[in-house]
Structure 1
Amino acid sequence: MTRRVALAGFLHETNTFAPSLADMSSFVQGGGYMPMARGAALMEAGRGINLGIGGAVEHGEAAGWNLQPILWCGAIPSAHVSQSAYNLIADEIVAGITAALPLDGVFLDLHGAMVAEHEDDGEGALIARVRAAVGPDVPIAVALDLHGNITAQMVDAADVLVGFRTYPHVDMAETGRRAAVQLDALMVRGAPFAKAFRRLDFLIPIAWQSTVMEPAAGIYDRMAALEGGDLASVSFFPGFPAADFAGCGPTVVAYGATQTAADAAADRVAGDVNRAEPAFAGKAFDPDAGVAEAIRIAATATKPVVIADTQDNPGAGGDSNTTGMLRALVRADAQRAAIGIIVDPAAAKAAHAAGQGAEIDIALGGFSNIPGDSPFQARFTVETLSDGKFIASGPFYGGAPLDLGASACLRIGDVRIVVSTHKAQMADQQMYRFVGIEPTTQAILVNKSSVHFRADFQPIAETILVCTAPGPMPISPARLAWTSLAPGMKLEPMGVRWMPAKTSEPSLEES
């Protein structure tokens, strides 16, 4: 039997404390994602790419589905999705799915932590609209980022939610495939799975969520081993801890042939996470201390010391233009050091106008009004120029073509800076090489990223340090100005519980 399945995707990770909105142009351009695609172009662009849609296309074609591709788009993390962009994209997805009826199933590739200007639960509202369009009996499967802030509305409206199991996210396509497999099982089964949903009570800093480190590595390994028999799927979502709404926080979702199986798995994973709460913390340096430590280690190292400029991570809503780490490198007269990416269209334009080899006096970066940050006024040498187009071949981007616009390598002393026009997270060695910097020969690399860079840089690193220069994404959620978090949520592992001054909402203990 040929099954008719609609495919659509709409991805955004929203830092409600970040400085810049995601508008329609952000989704059209795509940032670190593939550009917006519809219909046959969606199939062509999605085939073989490390995104959830890629795994779904691969499985659907192999399974002989009659695929109905609607629309896929994603934008790099930022502040809220603009109301106009959200409505235009959501309306097109729902209209396309409605026009494709009758359907046997729906596959959605979403993030899980989207907040629009007018809608806190961006994905929950979208899935609910899709449910209303297809009716109660058509199964809906959703592939999600492990940073999803999963809500009851999402769980209620979808038949199965399947999350990534790696951070850095090297299993995005694999997660899409796993979600598509569950959709196949639901279509064959002809009845929904039993569901279990658990919400945990402490926020987890993203810098310490990495699945290449403990405690997350062990939690995910033990969780994956539970699946089989009556348990169809179980996912742990550490959450994205910078979304100021009641749904922010870690969750576990399980699906089974029986309610007993789903409940047992959800309880076991939630218990595992709760026991690991004290371990979800780590050590970070201030900029000068971090650079001093990097210089000390580099003196006898054979590989680069890599520093995560975690608080200006564009993968968490930063604009990737703060200058705290650059200032620390220059103050320390760091040798064979490189930092990237500083996104500054005006600086890139000035470099191209001056030409390779020229010296330019500019104020670089620092224009996002971040407390403690400011533009870095200095004279720089224009070492190389680039049109910003290249293939990011490392395991995170997985061969995605990137277009960072007019770009340059600027040098001050022996510090080299990757400057671009468009924003993307520094998570691939090619993001140095495209402007002529060979990362493996540097003594110190400073990456504007929190964790994703580890996929491609950990193999070449002597060690990795985490630094906390001023930026829009504090390493500890306790430093954010919360107004709408769920009452009773701890602001960091073993931290204080957040309570509003006055509230009529039930606390976590009461819900």
Structure 2
Amino acid sequence: MSPTPPVRRPRIAIAGIAIESSTFSPHRAGLRDFHVVTGDDLLARYDALAPGGALADRADWLPVVYARSIPGGPVLPEVYADLRQRILDGLAALVADGPLDGVFLDIHGAMSVVGADDAEGDLVTAVREVVGDTPVLSAAMDLHGNVSRTLITRTDLLTCFRMAPHEDAWDTRERAMRNLVTVLARGERPLQAWVRVPILLPGEKTSTRVEPARGLYGRLPEVEARPGVLDAAIWVGYAWADEPRCHATVVVSGWDRDEITAQARSLAEHLWDVRDDFTFVGPPGTLDEAVDAALAATERPYLISDSGDNPGAGGTGDVTWTLARLLDRPELTGPDAPTTLCASVFDAEALTVLAAHQVGDTVTVTAGARVDSGPHGPVTLTGRLVHLSEGDPDAGRVAVVAVGGLHVVLTQHRQAYHTVTAFERAGLDPRTADIVVTKIGYLEPELYAIARGWTLALTPGGVDQDLARLGHHRIDRPMYPFDTFDTAPDLTPVVL
């Protein structure tokens, strides 16, 4: 008897482009905004693929190209074309070497490209053209992404984060990989029940830290565990892009058509029924109200979110509206003022000026509003230079100018100050400060942990929490909360 030939492990490619793009932000994402990873460095991103990892021996994992940027404005078309072509060329080379069984796509879902709609839909369409219809495509996404008909039609498996803030991001990527190898082992593609839900809300109103999102997303593991179901996902959608694909979405995948259809409808109806219950995750207020509360607080540090220019959601990072108002508060700029950190404004020219000085010098510098001058123009600071450094992997040069108790962080490039570590690299400790003002929406875990008080300041910018103030005109209407509904929308799942 002839020996049984060895079973070939599936060949799975890994690729993706991830950025969250506000179409209301004048920033344009260039190649420098992206960190591009290939080869072993790409494989090393995923603990599940490390030697001894949960999925390392389940397939031959083949790295192609992964490009990731902090959120910003739309991607320049030539930059997207370059990154897209690198992925397609890498996939073509793999296909030439032998059969490709699957592709794992690590994407965000809210990438916009100048002059185009549905960037992720375009990307997966191009991937399909290279790899063909046989390989199974599985994508891991941010829950603030968008699921267009094109995207779900071209992919076989979609899943997304179940927490906001996204503390389960790596669990989600592993789940998308695990779903892929499960499908390949079974040898049968699942069905996907897709529901477009006409709701578009900012992430700060849909955090899973609080109800109703906590209970809604809390249902997903139970749905996923039902017989005939593989995965269940809810996308809030991305509120700061003005594209037809921007809306909430429910997808339930599996092999039992009736079950996935029933569960997708149930989740969509649940989401619709609680639409009026979504409120800001943190106490909202004007900037003046936030500063007044911070000054009156007896426990420190008090955190203030400069939410309208949050680079973690797509803001430019150089809006000076908040900084200008802080400088006008003598309680913050006097010699006995509380220690207040204000992060940050990026301006390469301002950092060139400051680099000619020494720490301890009194300096005057004009900064900000070079990209987004809509809410306020550039601001001139006169104060003491208390920190100057180079080589930050994201921010480049970093300076801190103290005007009384107000410590203003200036950077060469866009930088989100969403962690304690980011502040420490600028020579600052937010844990011992009295007040911390940073361009953020809901507080990310490290800042949330240190906050002894918090106001979500409703400030202007490219990711303004007041969606009506932004002026959407291309989203499909009617859409909650922009419109009223006399009757419930059709939430019948489409099975693909």
Same structural fold, with TM-score higher than 0.5 when normalized by the shorter chain = yes
Tell me which amino acid in the other structure corresponds to 1:21.
R
State the SS of the aligned residue for 2:284: coil
Deviation at 1:119, TM superposition (A): 2.5
Which residue is 1:433 aligned to?
Answer: 424
Paired position in structure 1 for 2:239: 241
Task: Give the aligned length.
Answer: 471
Equivalent-residue separation in structure 1 for 2:53 and 2:196 (angstroms): 31
Query: Residues 110 and 144 of structure 1 are in contact (CA less than 8 Å); yes or no, is this contact kept in structure 2?
Result: yes
- The answer to whether structure 1 residue 374 and structure 2 residue 372 are counterparts is no
TM superposition shift of 1:57 = 9.6
Query: Secondary structure at 1:10's aligned position in 2?
Result: strand
- The code of the aligned residue for 1:4 comes to R
Partner residue in 1 for 2:23: 16
Q: Which has the larger radius of gyration?
A: 2
The residue aligned with 1:403 is 394
Kindly tell me: are residues 110 and 59 of structure 1, through their superposed partners in 2, closer, same or farther at Cα, counting changes over 3 Å?
A: farther
* TM-score of the two chains, using structure 1 as the length reference: 0.87
Worse overlay, 358-367 or 1-10: 358-367
Question: Where do 5+ consecutive residues of structure 2 fail to align?
Answer: 1-6, 333-337
Match of 2:66 in 1: 72
**CA distances 1:136-191 after superposition (whole Å, capped 9, x unpaired):** 22111001011111101111110101101122122221111000010011101212
Residue 61 (structure 1) shift: 5.2
The equivalent residue for 1:63 is 57
The alpha-carbon deviation at position 351 of structure 1 amounts to 2.0
1:478 and 2:485 correspond: no
Matched residue, 1:38? 38
Correspondence for 2:324: 327
Which of 284, 289, 306 aligns to 1:309? It is 306
In structure 2, the partner of 1:184 is 181
- How far apart are residue 497 of structure 1 and its match? 5.5
Deviations 1:438-479 (A, max 9, x none): 11111111111112x331111111122111222121102222
Aligned to 1:395: none
For residues 236-264 of structure 1, what are the alpha-carbon distances to aligned partners after superposition, in whole Å with 9 as ceiling and x for unaligned? 11011111111001111110121112112
**Is contact 2:319-2:372 (8 Å) kept?**
no
Residues 1:226 and 1:61: Cα distance change in structure 2 (over 3 Å): closer
Q: How has the CA–CA distance of structure 1 residues 79 and 336 changed in structure 2, closer, same or farther, with 3 Å as cutoff?
A: same
User: What is the CA-CA distance between 1:68 and the residue it aligns to?
Assistant: 1.4
How many Å separate the matches in 2 of 1:168 and 1:510?
Answer: 27
Retained in 1: the 8 A contact 2:27–2:72?
A: yes
In structure 1, give the amino acid aligned to 2:483.
Answer: V
CA distance in 2, matches of 1:88, 1:12: 15
| Matching residue of 2:251 | 253
Quick check: 1:209 aligned with 2:203?
Answer: no
Q: Quick check: 1:198–1:270 contact (8 Å CA) kept in 2? A: yes
Number of the residue aligned with 2:221: 224
Partner SS for 1:411: strand
8 Å CA contact 2:159, 2:232 repeated in 1? yes
Aligned to 2:270: 272
8 Å Cα contact 1:408/1:420 also seen in 2: yes
Query: What is the CA deviation profile of residues 259-314 of structure 1, one whole-angstrom value per residue up to 9, with x for unaligned ones?
Result: 112112211211221122112223522221221122112xx11x311111100011
In structure 1, how many angstroms separate the alpha carbons of the residues matched to 2:426 and 2:198?
44
Alignment CA distance shift 1:64-1:510 (3 Å): closer
The aligned counterpart of 2:390 is 387
- Taking the aligned partners of 2:163 and 2:181, their CA distance within structure 1 comes to 23
Q: Do 1:359 and 1:380's aligned partners in 2 also have CA atoms closer than 8 Å?
A: yes
Q: CA RMSD in A?
A: 2.2
| Residue equivalent to 2:167 | 170
Report the AA paired with residue 121 of structure 2: G
1:295 and 1:72 map into 2 onto residues whose CA distance is 45
Normalised by the length of structure 2, the TM-score is: 0.90
Equivalents in 2 of 1:366, 1:188: separation in Å?
Answer: 54
Equivalent residue letter for 1:412? V
Q: Which of residues 187, 190, 203 is equivalent to 1:193? A: 190
Counterpart AA for 1:19: P
Could you tell me whether the CA contact under 8 Å between 1:58 and 1:177 is conserved in 2? Answer: no
CA distance in 2, matches of 1:369, 1:464: 26
Percent identity, aligned pairs only? 28
Gapped regions of structure 1 (runs ≥ 5): 28-34, 49-53, 390-401, 499-507
In 1, Cα distance between equivalents of 2:244 and 2:324: 38
Q: Is the 8 A contact 1:193 1:256 kept in 2?
A: yes
Cα 1:122–1:424 shift into 2, 3 Å: same
SS at match of 2:285: coil
Of 455-464 and 326-335, the range deviating more from structure 2? 326-335
